[in-house]
Amino acid sequence: MKNKQDTMTAEAKENNPMQKKRIIILGISCFYHDAAAAIVVNGKLIAAAEEERFSRKKHDASFPKQAISFCLKQCNISINEIDYIAFYDKPLLKFERLLSSHLFAFPKSFGQFARAIPSWMNKKIRIPKIIKKELKYKGKIFFIDHHLSHAASSFLASPFKKAVLLTLDGVGEWATTSAGVGEENKITLQKEIHFPHSLGLLYSTATAHLGFSVNNSEYKVMGLAPYGKPVYLDKFRKLITVKEDGSYKLNMEYFSFHYALHMPSEKYIEEFGPIRKPNDPVTEHHQNLASSLQALYEEVLFTILNALYKETKITNLCMAGGCALNSVGNGKITNHTPFKKVFIQPAASDAGGSIGAALYTYNCILEKKRTFIQEDAYLGPSFLTAEIKLFLDDNNIIYKIFKNEKDLADTTAKLIAKNNVIGLFQGRMEMGPRALGNRSILSNPTNPKMQEILNEKVKHREKFRPFAPVITAEDVHKYFDIDKDEEPFMLFVYPIKKEKRKLLPTVTHVDGSGRLQTITKKQNVRYYSIIKSFEKITKVPVLVNTSFNIRGEPIVCTPQDAYRCMMGTGIDYLVIDKFIIARKDNPKDMWDSESLATD
């Protein structure tokens, strides 16, 4: 007869997805932008990370060998223990689209076609061989439709048993917009709009015209929009015809992305003026263009969503794809459509396709019941206290160690209240583009000079760029006009209450809004405790939270990345695990080299 301790151990093993009879699926996305890997064990997402965090190349598109290695290590398995690999799109269908679109536009498309073919021949249609060669993998590989991967990444990770699904991005294989319904562990995409008609590519064309980089800086245009007025909205409406059922077509006279490397056509430039060069000033004209674009995007989005609700009468919505990161539009969905609850995959771009492909394989192809709800994005690497201490000691870095968690939170809050900028490095790195308290830069939202300090001395980026607030969940309704109690992924922009805007100048955008994150003690105890300690000092339960990186670099992954970032910027202190490091205590000549010890 088993004793109580043995019984408890058996129960613990039964409830641990790593101890059951396991089905292990590795999801992979790569070769376009935001390459990533994810591992799902018995239907639960265990680990996921973008390749850029390891390679230190922003939006790295290469085969995610380092991200895969991390995922395997996190699960303590070898590639031989993987049951299935799921790839996030169908390369042959995508190649068919490339051939068809270039043949249709020939001879204007010849130059772009000639540049694209080598990468296709060398890697993009050789995915099975590359996977088997790079990983020495001999098992089965599933190729999941690109928009199906997106839809699965949101719905199968959501709390909904039934929901409307909408994927919006530049382009997958052929689809640029897909809509359908998810119910239990079944996903049906019933409607598609095909390339070259793409709301995502329309937004990217305007991004390129405004002098920002495509597939990287669309969020800058979104941030610029509130500074302008939508005076060109009628002109922007010429670019697209939208029907009541949510279908749309672009007026291709204004676009050249289907046959050339540049995106705006000559007619677009005639209509909206010359392309802004990246280092040129941002004028009122550019602000108004951004505002008009954002207004058009929201107009089309709400038309699509209202049509989907009219057809389905379902009040839950799941979104994914690059456009689902448009937090300004997201924050208006429940006010402009009948949808009552919205879940968006926090890694909504192509990186999240790795998650969706793996979940789709488990729940839909293998027909296993759903058991997973994504409640946080802390899916990346973490580092032991001993590892971090060894790094600090090997590099003669001066630090203070805190054995008491409350003392560390209180000290950090006091530093922030005194207008110091803090790099917070703890626990597992976030998956997706938003830092959510484990790889974050924190500062004082009540200081009217803090936005300028962060943009110029820390982030090294444009002055108009806004910063996001994080607030304890129990206080959110006191400070924001929001129709729900929690927003953990920083994917929605909401109005800040008028009486609180002067109190929070750093996180109040020019239109009175803020891209909100809420936090609870259960979600992230140290992050929450720092905010509560700051509240005791200032009576304000809000901090500035921005990603722990500088312009042009990925979010930090390792202690070495974090220390380098602090020492090369205006970050005053690094709070890393149980240690606090002051930049002023560590002379630059002690780190200014490529030889920081990492072992």
pLDDT of residue 420: 97
Burial bucket for residue 406 (CB in 10 Å: 0-12, 13-18, 19+): exposed
The residues pairing with 168 across neighbouring beta strands, listed in sequence order, are 177
CA angle 59, 61, 67 (to 5 degrees): 90
Output the pLDDT for position 354. Answer: 98
Does one domain contain both 84 and 137?
yes
Statement to judge: residues 93 and 232 lie in one domain: no
Domain identity same for 339 and 426: no
Give 189's strand partners: 180
If asked whether residues 495 and 579 sit together in one domain, one would say yes
- The structure tokens listed for 191 are 């409607």
- Whether 211 maps to a domain, the answer reads yes
Residues 104 and 211 in one domain: no
How many independent structural domains does the chain possess? 3
Domain end: 282, 312, 344, which one? 344
Please tell me the predicted confidence (pLDDT) of residue 123. 73
pLDDT at 242 over 60: yes
User: Given a cut of 90, is residue 587 above it in pLDDT?
Assistant: no
pLDDT at 116 over 70: no
Of 584 and 91, which is predicted with more confidence? 584
* Percent of the chain residues past pLDDT 90, beyond the cut: 83
CATH, residue 565: 3.90.870.20
- The answer on 136 and 232 residing in a single domain is no
Domain assignment present for residue 161? The answer is no
DSSP letters for 404-473: -HHHHHHHHHHHHHTT--EEEE-SSPBSSS---SSEEEEE-TT-TTHHHHIIIIIS---TT---EEEEEG
Same domain, 359 and 497: no
What is the C-alpha to C-alpha distance for residues 524 and 240, in angstroms, rounded to an integer? 44
Cross-strand pairs, 576: 425, 579
What is the pLDDT, as a whole number, of residue 13?
A: 44
Q: Where are the beta strands (DSSP E) in 490-540?
A: 492-495, 513-519
Residue 176 lies in a domain: yes
Per-residue CA distances from 325 to 173, 334, 570, 576 (Å): 20, 16, 28, 29
* Within-domain flag for 520: yes
pTM of the predicted model over 0.85: yes
| Average pLDDT in the chain | 92
Closest C-alpha among 2, 18, 371 to residue 10: 2
In this structure, are 513 and 546 located in the same domain? yes
CA distance 528 to 470: 9
User: Can you tell me the distance from the alpha carbon of 342 to that of 264, in angstroms, rounded to the nearest whole number?
Assistant: 33
Q: For the segment 257-292, what is each residue's pLDDT rounded down to a tens digit?
A: 988 778 999 999 999 999 999 989 999 999 999 999
Q: Which of 376, 373, 513 is nearest to 432 (CA)?
A: 376
CA angle 221/285/448 to nearest 5° reads: 60
Q: What are the tens digits of pLDDT across the range 163-174?
A: 999 999 999 999
Half-sphere exposure (CA, 13 Å, Cβ side) for 550? Answer: 15
Task: Flag whether 536 is in a domain.
Answer: yes
Q: Rounded CA gap, 249 and 299, in Å?
A: 14
Is the pLDDT reported for residue 114 higher than 80?
no
Question: Is the same domain home to 307 and 355?
Answer: no
Q: How confident is the model at residue 95 (pLDDT cuts 50, 70, 90)?
A: low
Mean pLDDT of 232-248: 98
CATH code assigned at 283: 3.30.420.40
Range of the domain at 95: 15-151+351-365
Q: Spell out the alpha helix ranges (H) of 361-404.
A: 385-394
Q: In this structure, are 286 and 421 located in the same domain?
A: no
| Residue for token pair 């793409």 | 198
Element (H, E) at 111: helix 110-119
Looking at the structure, tell me whether residues 394 and 361 fall in a common domain. no
Q: What is the pLDDT of residues 521-580, one digit of tens each?
A: 999 999 999 999 999 999 999 999 999 998 889 999 999 999 999 999 999 999 999 999
User: Per the structure block, which two tokens stand in for 318?
Assistant: 């799941």
**Closest to 580 (Cα-Cα) out of 562, 592, 596:** 562
pLDDT of 296 over the 60 cut: yes
The verdict on 80 and 191 lying in the same domain is: no
Looking at residue 273, its amino acid is G
Residue 400: φ, ψ to 5° = -120, 135
pLDDT of residue 3: 38
In a domain, 257, yes or no: yes
Residue among 185, 206, 223, 215 nearest 351 (CA)? 215
Which residue in 353, 434, 431, 429 sits closest to 32, CA to CA?
353
Is 70 exceeded by the pLDDT of residue 366?
yes
pLDDT of residue 7: 36
Q: Quick check: 120 pLDDT over 80?
A: no
Residue 311 belongs to some domain of the structure? yes
Residue 530 vs residue 10, higher pLDDT? 530
Inside any domain, residue 441: yes
Residue with tokens 């929605």: 492
